[in-house]
Structure 1
């Protein structure tokens, strides 16, 4: 007879090795346990599956299912929840849905965490409507939603710009007895800040405080960043100093945000004080810090200073990322050095960066603004990957060059491809065609845009 304590100890050992990413040692412990007569249970295998999902891959995790069944142990809802969560982390909706279906066919009833994970996966993959249907299923099936369920839904709505819908849901939940914690308020404050509704964000903060909740570093940092983004520097600095007085800890990104704001306003001494404090707090100088300074120097036209920072960055053993290259490319373009921007892009490719969409988008935009629209078109045609910003920028610059027919063709191909172009840019194309005497073509473009929107 295997004692309950022995299996529990085995599970603790397996969990410890899985947590430290030592999956082979976790396997060895199970083998040694079986040799000693300590048999694994469903918890042992679930722990192993979760470890493989996080650190090794789905194939290794799924193979454990066969071993469970061979050992006479039936998978449970936790087994499949771990697998679905792993598939979600890999952004594999198809695999998540297949595992969900397999769970149902095995006679295992999904719990609230099964639905929560699936809903989170749908939001991550840009399918808010499908996530909303999962949320409705939870309510219709009579499951008891967890606060995480509501937070996932509210966060997903805010992420995709449905902030008003998120607030409506929040108020409806409150009327039905939902007592929000600080994390819910943080999600809503962040969502409101992203769409520029600062007054509503402050009201949400006051509501949280009136409910007896104490705002934390995340709350204040969100508001501070938004203030700087809206050029409300005074309010942003007030939040920063209030956080310092309350003893809140800053992360590196928060410090860089404040340093960037000080530098933008020419308050260099205060920026230096922040840098020193950042180092004293053990955060160190990382790539985010350098990107912040390089971006500022490039915007101010101080390219020589920006390149000195690049040399310093290399001397510390830090490697550039896509964002660093995008900043430099945009900075060169802003200062009219298109040739230099081309050279920098070529340098990127020689150092192992195969593609940088942001940098290419910057170059296309600057070429168009510099009147080199044909060069911009050639670059566009050579790009393997394009996004809505690529199309919007080129369409806008074609209109500036009064090449409305070319702009209209590009616009329609973009919309048909499921990408978005600003409505103001669409109107510019149609108005440009009319003013150029292509009235019939303008009507056709408008009709095609409507049809494309119906299908996408």
Structure 2
């Protein structure tokens, strides 16, 4: 249909162009979207900032953020001025690609060219920095946001981004201290969070879940620390269904569980004899970028050795070593006790 329109000399209106570009980008067909914009421009049609932003976001979603940065310069040369959404999309893409210094440069460039930062700018950059191990940088951006009179400080998402950063770096005491500092801004969220954490610590998971449901029902987004403690609590009670539901919610909120949280689920699954499900979970989480540790592999080695399946136990041991993870004493002990007569692996492994 588009081809017929071009052949008949019709010029597509900007709304139609943007919709088609969006459809193409959503299906990963960004090259076709580029070609479409070029043909529209060649015929004198209008391509506005919304269409360019859609294309830039499409490239960023595919991990081609540098192409998105080039498009920013191209649109400026063509007289199409970028807006905050343009930069927000690029900052998000740069953070996803771990290009944090470039994301900070893009943030500062907005100020230089006279484009005001908005809440999405701050939230995207803080979450990206903190989840990428740059919590100190994220805290500095949070301070800038708090001093920006144009942006309301009463949004909890950037603060949860900082907590997530502390959680990922296992800085739990700092995360608790940060939560307490939030009390003046978010008294209800802090009250609910601290009560959930206290109930989890005391093993009262039913009451912790009740407060969690109340919290979500009030429209308050729980932090990664709340999810982690509740998830571990469910595992301690042997409730694998509840643990999986919470983990899916946690990931849906943009919080990837760290190894210590994931290990609780793996241990429970292996104890329940669901080794295949545990292995599938581990591969899925690894694919999402979760860094595992020796305790992630230990349960598999334990269960296979207890079954006399030393070959598979040793394969998990090798996977761990090949990824540069130092085995703990328990794993070494199991593997070194494998009878030589059952270890039929090629010595070249």
Same fold (TM over 0.5): yes
1:206 aligns with 2:183: yes
Instruction: Work out whether residues 21 and 51 of structure 2, in 8 Å CA contact, stay in contact via their aligned partners in 1.
Output: yes
Q: Aligned-pair RMSD on alpha carbons?
A: 4.9
The equivalent residue for 2:51 is: 79
Deviations 1:398-453 (A, max 9, x none): xxxxxxxxxxxxxxxxxxxxxxxxxxxxxxxxxxxxxxxxxxxxxxxxxxxxxxxx
Q: CA deviation at 1:137?
A: 1.2
The equivalent residue for 1:7 is: none
The equivalent residue for 2:210 is: 241
Mapped to 2, the partners of 1:328 and 1:193 lie a distance apart of: 18
Of 151, 154, 158, the match for 1:184: 158
Mapped to 2, the partners of 1:166 and 1:78 lie a distance apart of: 28
Alpha-carbon spacing, 1:235–1:362, altered in 2? closer, same or farther (3 Å): farther
The equivalent residue for 1:122 is: 94
1:306 aligns with 2:273: yes
Aligned-partner SS, 2:210:
helix
Alpha-carbon spacing, 1:91–1:261, altered in 2? closer, same or farther (3 Å): same
Pairing of 1:346-425 with structure 2 (within 5 A): 361=323, 365=327, 369-370=332-333
Q: Which runs of no fewer than 5 residues in structure 2 stay unpaired?
A: 247-256, 287-291, 337-344
The equivalent residue for 1:416 is: none
Deviations 1:347-399 (A, max 9, x none): x9xxxxxxx96695498626983486xxxxx99x97xxxxxxxxxxxxxxxxx
Mapped to 2, the partners of 1:359 and 1:221 lie a distance apart of: 38
Mapped to 1, the partners of 2:160 and 2:11 lie a distance apart of: 45
Instruction: Work out whether residues 189 and 204 of structure 1, in 8 Å CA contact, stay in contact via their aligned partners in 2.
Output: no
Q: Which runs of no fewer than 5 residues in structure 1 stay unpaired?
A: 1-27, 279-287, 349-355, 373-377, 383-456
The TM-score with structure 1 as length reference comes to: 0.53
Mapped to 2, the partners of 1:342 and 1:328 lie a distance apart of: 18
Mapped to 1, the partners of 2:241 and 2:65 lie a distance apart of: 47
Alpha-carbon spacing, 1:190–1:321, altered in 2? closer, same or farther (3 Å): closer
Of 30, 35, 43, the match for 1:58: 30
Alpha-carbon spacing, 1:257–1:170, altered in 2? closer, same or farther (3 Å): closer
Of the two, which has the highest radius of gyration?
A: 1
Aligned-partner SS, 2:80:
coil
Bigger share in helix? 1
The TM-score with structure 2 as length reference comes to: 0.66
Deviations 1:283-302 (A, max 9, x none): xxxxx9x997553253xxx4
Deviations 1:169-189 (A, max 9, x none): 323332332322232333233
The equivalent residue for 2:340 is: none
Instruction: Work out whether residues 103 and 110 of structure 1, in 8 Å CA contact, stay in contact via their aligned partners in 2.
Output: yes
Mapped to 1, the partners of 2:133 and 2:322 lie a distance apart of: 26
Alpha-carbon spacing, 1:31–1:140, altered in 2? closer, same or farther (3 Å): closer
Aligned-partner SS, 2:86:
helix
The equivalent residue for 1:158 is: 130
The number of residues matched between the two structures is 305
Instruction: Work out whether residues 330 and 362 of structure 1, in 8 Å CA contact, stay in contact via their aligned partners in 2.
Output: no
